[in-house]
């Protein structure tokens, strides 16, 4: 069964976020990850503490976990944290 990583985020430095996003997209490829959707959100019910959401699909849970734990991805986490405030959720 496929697994999703859902990222809730608020940008804090657009230039660093752009650099992170470019690098992060490349780290997905070996794990079969692909973006399903990304962009501003509209809360239909309840509060939305973040203004943007990203949904990434992986072939399975192991692929998603292995991507997140990979050296390539871990190496860009400092850039991520300089570019945005975020929460990552694994579903599936």
Structure token digits, residue 44: 């239909």
pTM: 0.93
pLDDT digit string, tens, across residues 67-82: 999 999 999 999 999 9
* Residue-wise DSSP of 1-69: --EEEEEEEEES-HHHHHHHHHHHHHHHGGGT-EEEEEEE---SSS--S-SEEEEEEESSHHHHHHHHH
Q: Give per-residue pLDDT as tens, 16-38.
A: 999 999 999 999 999 999 999 99
Lookup: tokens for 42: 């509209």
Q: Give the mean model confidence (pLDDT) for residues 45-58.
A: 96
User: pLDDT at position 4, please?
Assistant: 98
- For Cα atoms 43, 19, 2, give the angle at the middle one, nearest 5 degrees: 55
- Structural domains in the chain, CATH included, are 3-91 (3.30.70.100)
């Amino acid at each position: 069964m496929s697994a999703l990583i859902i990222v809730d985020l608020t940008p804090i430095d657009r230039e660093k976020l752009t650099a992170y996003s470019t690098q992060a997209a490349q780290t997905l490829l070996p794990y079969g990850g692909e973006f399903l959707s990304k962009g501003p959100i509209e809360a239909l019910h309840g509060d939305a503490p973040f203004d943007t959401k990203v949904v990434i699909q992986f072939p399975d849970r192991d692929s998603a976990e292995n991507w997140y734990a990979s050296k390539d991805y871990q190496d860009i986490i400092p850039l991520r944290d300089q570019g945005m405030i975020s929460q990552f959720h694994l579903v599936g």
